[in-house]
Amino acid sequence: MTTEPKPPFDVELLDTEPQEVQNPYSGEKVTLNPVALAVHDTIKGAEMWRDYRTMQIGLDWFKEHYPKEYMILLD
């Protein structure tokens, strides 16, 4: 069994199953597990609120743990 990486900040897991997420600009889609989805959602919320510190922490975590998904969704 693979252990999910620990999120870089507190997150609320709203989903128990992987979910498909689409890049709104390219239309490309990837499936994220609940932890990655929660971090992704926090990054997008931080972007909206201009909380660039939280956003950068999340982006760095995503690059390290999910580089393929990072390139599709967040780069």
4-58, pLDDT tens digit by residue? 899 999 998 988 999 999 999 999 999 999 999 999 999 999 999 999 999 999 9
pLDDT of 1 strictly over 70: no
Q: Is residue 44 part of a domain?
A: yes
Q: Is residue 46 part of a domain?
A: yes
Q: What is the pLDDT of residue 26?
A: 96
Give pTM, 2 decimals: 0.93
pLDDT of 61 strictly over 80: yes
With contact defined as beta carbons under 8 Å apart, do 46 and 54 qualify?
Answer: yes
Domain range spanning residue 35? Answer: 21-73
Single-letter amino acid code for the residue at 74: L
Q: Is residue 8 part of a domain?
A: no
In this structure, what are the phi and psi dihedrals at residue 18, rounded to the nearest 5 degrees? -60, 150
Number of domains in the chain: 1
